[in-house]
Chain A
Amino acid sequence: MYEFVTGPLAWLAFLVFFIGIIVRLVLYVRGLDWKLDRVTYSVNTSFGVKGAVRSILFWLTPFGTHSWRDNPWFTILVFVLHLGLIFTPLFLLAHNIFLQERWGFSLWSMPDALADTMTIAVIAAAVLLAMRRIALPEVRIITSAYDYLMLAIAAAPFVTGLIARYAFVQSEPWLIVHVLCGELFLIAIPLTKLSHFVLFFATRAQLGMDYGIKRGGMKSSGINW
């Protein structure tokens, strides 16, 4: 079982993940239409590129925008969650030992204490974001089961990973569940709204180009996100 989930199934998950995100990006770009969107994407390019880069960088910076600054607690939770989701699995020592054994290469590994902290932080952020969905009326009204499912899918590999690490007795079943959760997460990214993993960059770039090219970018120093 362990061999299967860490072998063929892992390959499948990575395949769906990588091909999926590429397909999502390609479809997004192909679906852009300068006349319908009313943005000359391929003319006035320098303004478009500047607008896109600003739009992405401002929003990738914690507290870099009005919206982030207006909602400091949410901003902290979002950045903790996303940084943890991306960097913990990449630089986890156990993952890299595994990578070395299976595929003969590995990445830099972070200290275990840091990995543990980030894992717990991810879980805490997910729980708090779920509670926020219940607590705030303006969020509750737009929240559906789908939104909780997304949080659960994202947090599951971290919860199970932590259990697998510390549940010394019978850790293999937990390890298998952990790997399955990770694979589910990878597969869900291109197939659900978790596709904002890549589409964040696409939609941010699009609106940045819209403002950079058409909505004042040529007559100002750029919108102050």
Chain B
Amino acid sequence: MPEGILCNKNKVTTLEHLQALLADKSGKQYYQEMNNLDVDSTALWGLIQKTCKSRIRTWLDICTHCGLCADSCFYYLANGKDPKQVPAYKIQSTLGQIIRRKGQVDNAFMQMAMDTAFSKCTCCTRCGVYCPLGIDTGVMFSYLRGLLFSQGFSPWEMKIGTGMHRVFRAQMDVTTEDWVDTCSWMAEENADDWPGLEIPVDKENADIIYTVNAREPKHYPEDIAQAAILFHVAGENWTVPSEGWEETSLAMFAGDWEACKIQVESVYAAMDRLKPKRMVVTECGHAYRATVIEGPYWAGLATGKTPIESLHYVEWVAEALRTGKLKINPAKKIKEPVTYQDSCNYIRNGGLWEAARFIMSQIAEDFREMTPSREHNFCCGGGGGLNGIGRYREQRNIGLKVKRDQILATGAKLVVAPCHNCWDAIRDLEEVYEIGIRWSFLKPLLINMIEVPEHLKPAE
């Protein structure tokens, strides 16, 4: 059974394995090896029989092929209504076929299925909201990704991502030391402007445990500083864990369910260790989805809930504004037209659209909804891990057109995007299509418009 050195069915569990993958620039060797990867049909069919139960089988069986899912899919719209982009077609020709053929599919089929599952679906689950029979194709594509991963058919970056989670308990190579150092560096860096600013690590019994996206310590440390400043001004008793601070899950995008469990359990262990009252998650959609919405199930928690109550950042901001912990200086509200990018993961799949609206009502004078919006909003175009996969860059860029047109229609030049994936996708769409927009997380906007109590201001 041919297995490549880099592209194979093995899980990435060691630093050496991870480094070998990283050394293979753009996954050139990895994808070459994939061409020779054998499909273990027995194992594939065995996995399907064990994990594909009545929910998905019924979805595939009773789909009446009405085509109502077509217009719900941003890929279908962005690709000139190409019938091959109809969600029902995409799933029936991949997962549907694998099941009909009882796993007897070949390498070319698996690569086609991988290309479909990653470059034609971001698992945004919008189609499920438009299907009369409640068939959620996004959920099925996520399941398909798991089947593909089990056979080694995973995009290079996804394979690396799962290895990162297994080796570093983070989507990037950020060690505990790196993380703790970044926190103290950010606290020191901002100490002059914000006297008394702290980023308390491993403080027990805090009111809030704050968890982040590894990109923040790795590439955007100022985001951690901004979070600290806002907690500081709001007078919160908060902490970050030295371990179990990473909320994201490239493993969820890849369909590596074992790594998903390992990752979220590291966060739940921090809750257990530090006994905080609540958790607040940074401005990231899939991180919240992974650790708060899906995570309890991977960890086998029968309540379906995280061990302590968990909030997305927008929930905390909305609460802080409602309770007066954060006060907006009316003169500093956003004057220009501004729109809001509803993230699929915490809006459609998390129900937090009202919190987002409340925040916008407090910080903006001319808030303009996208059409459609809230739980009906379109994916930014970069969800499901797509932003990070080189192989599908072209397809991703085509998909961005729907978001581009949505933003243009609002007339706003500023997009509030409290989600790392959305933020990236909107940045990239500006780079590709140059429509003259700006984009921002909430934190930097809030810092510029909150009223700071006298005692928290630096002495002149």
Q: Mark A90-122, 1 if CB is under 8 A from B, else 0.
A: 000000000000000000000000000000000
Q: Top 8 closest A-B pairs, CB basis?
A: A216-B351, A31-B54, A220-B351, A40-B304, A207-B134, A139-B67, A38-B297, A138-B70
Q: What distance in Å separates the Cβ of A41 from its nearest Cβ neighbour in chain B? A: 9
CA separation between A110 and B64, bound complex, in Å? 30
CB pair B84–A223 under 8 Å, yes or no, is no
Instruction: Assess A136 versus B62: contact at CB under 8 Å? Given A40-B303, A196-B133, A213-B304.
Output: no
Contacts of B84 in A (CB 8 A): 141
- Select A28's contact among B58, B130, B350, beta carbons within 8 Å: B58
Q: What distance in Å separates the Cβ of A74 from its nearest Cβ neighbour in chain B? A: 7
Contacts of A32 in B (CB 8 A): 53-55
- Select A206's contact among B55, B92, B131, beta carbons within 8 Å: B55
CB pair A216–B350 under 8 Å, yes or no, is yes
CB pair A139–B66 under 8 Å, yes or no, is yes
In the complex, residue of chain A having the shortest beta-carbon distance to the beta carbon of B53: A31
Kindly state whether residue A78 has any CB partner on chain B within 8 Å: yes
Per the 8 Å Cβ criterion, residues 66-83 of A in contact with B are 66-68, 70-71, 74, 78
Contacts of A37 in B (CB 8 A): 53, 55
Contacts of A40 in B (CB 8 A): 297, 302-304
CA separation between A30 and B67, bound complex, in Å? 29
In the complex, residue of chain B having the shortest beta-carbon distance to the beta carbon of A143: B65
- Known pairs A31-B55, A66-B129, A214-B304; list 6 more (Cβ under 8 Å): A43-B302, A67-B68, A206-B55, A207-B136, A216-B349, A218-B351
Contacts of A70 in B (CB 8 A): 71, 130
Kindly state whether residue B86 has any CB partner on chain A within 8 Å: yes
Q: Mark A198-224, 1 if CB is under 8 A from B, else 0.
A: 011011101110100111111111011
CB pair B130–A67 under 8 Å, yes or no, is yes
In the complex, residue of chain B having the shortest beta-carbon distance to the beta carbon of A147: B65
Q: What would 16 A/B residue contacts be, using CB atoms closer than 8 Å? A: A31-B55, A35-B300, A43-B303, A67-B130, A67-B132, A78-B66, A137-B83, A139-B70, A196-B133, A203-B55, A215-B349, A216-B350, A217-B351, A219-B351, A220-B351, A223-B129
CB pair B131–A67 under 8 Å, yes or no, is yes
Number of chain B residues whose Cβ lies closer than 8 Å to a Cβ of chain A: 55
CA separation between A203 and B294, bound complex, in Å? 20
CB pair B64–A196 under 8 Å, yes or no, is yes
CB pair B130–A206 under 8 Å, yes or no, is no
CA separation between A78 and B64, bound complex, in Å? 12
Contacts of B89 in A (CB 8 A): 141-142
CB pair B83–A225 under 8 Å, yes or no, is no
Kindly state whether residue A172 has any CB partner on chain B within 8 Å: no
CA separation between A225 and B304, bound complex, in Å? 23
Kindly state whether residue A36 has any CB partner on chain B within 8 Å: yes
Contacts of B51 in A (CB 8 A): 36
Instruction: Assess A203 versus B351: contact at CB under 8 Å? Given A43-B302, A141-B89, A223-B375.
Output: no
> Which of B128, B135, B297, B352 has the largest count of A CB atoms less than 10 A from its CB?
B297
CB pair B293–A30 under 8 Å, yes or no, is no
- Select B61's contact among A150, A193, A219, beta carbons within 8 Å: A193
CB pair A215–B293 under 8 Å, yes or no, is yes
Kindly state whether residue A144 has any CB partner on chain B within 8 Å: yes
Instruction: Assess A224 versus B376: contact at CB under 8 Å? Given A31-B55, A142-B86.
Output: yes
CA separation between A195 and B62, bound complex, in Å? 7
Instruction: Assess A44 versus B304: contact at CB under 8 Å? Given A141-B86, A204-B134.
Output: yes
CB pair B135–A137 under 8 Å, yes or no, is no
CA separation between A157 and B304, bound complex, in Å? 47
Q: Mark B37-71, 1 if CB is under 8 A from A, else 0.
A: 00000000000000101110111011111111011
CB pair B64–A138 under 8 Å, yes or no, is no
In the complex, residue of chain A having the shortest beta-carbon distance to the beta carbon of B132: A59
Q: What distance in Å separates the Cβ of B135 from its nearest Cβ neighbour in chain A? A: 7
Q: Mark B373-403, 1 if CB is under 8 A from A, else 0.
A: 0111000000000000000000000000000
Q: What distance in Å separates the Cβ of A38 from its nearest Cβ neighbour in chain B? A: 4
Q: Please report A residues at the B interface, Cβ cutoff 8 Å.
A: 27-40, 43-44, 55, 59, 66-68, 70-71, 74, 78, 133, 136-144, 147, 150, 193, 195-196, 199-200, 202-204, 206-208, 210, 213-221, 223-225
Kindly state whether residue B72 has any CB partner on chain A within 8 Å: yes
Kindly state whether residue B236 has any CB partner on chain A within 8 Å: no
Contacts of B302 in A (CB 8 A): 34, 40, 43
Instruction: Assess A203 versus B62: contact at CB under 8 Å? Given A35-B297, A36-B51, A138-B83.
Output: yes
CB pair A219–B134 under 8 Å, yes or no, is no
Q: What distance in Å separates the Cβ of A133 from its nearest Cβ neighbour in chain B? A: 8
CA separation between A203 and B139, bound complex, in Å? 13
Q: What distance in Å separates the Cβ of B269 from its nearest Cβ neighbour in chain A? A: 20
CB pair A78–B132 under 8 Å, yes or no, is yes
Contacts of B53 in A (CB 8 A): 31-33, 36-37
CB pair A202–B58 under 8 Å, yes or no, is yes
Kindly state whether residue B88 has any CB partner on chain A within 8 Å: yes
CB pair B67–A136 under 8 Å, yes or no, is yes
Kindly state whether residue B75 has any CB partner on chain A within 8 Å: no
Contacts of A150 in B (CB 8 A): 64
CA separation between A147 and B129, bound complex, in Å? 23
Contacts of B58 in A (CB 8 A): 28, 31, 199, 202-203
Kindly state whether residue B81 has any CB partner on chain A within 8 Å: yes
Kindly state whether residue B76 has any CB partner on chain A within 8 Å: yes
CB pair A220–B59 under 8 Å, yes or no, is no
> Which of A27, A39, A219 has the largest count of B CB atoms less than 10 A from its CB?
A219
CB pair A220–B352 under 8 Å, yes or no, is yes
Q: What distance in Å separates the Cβ of A112 from its nearest Cβ neighbour in chain B? A: 31
CB pair B68–A74 under 8 Å, yes or no, is yes
Q: Mark B344-361, 1 if CB is under 8 A from A, else 0.
A: 000011111110000000
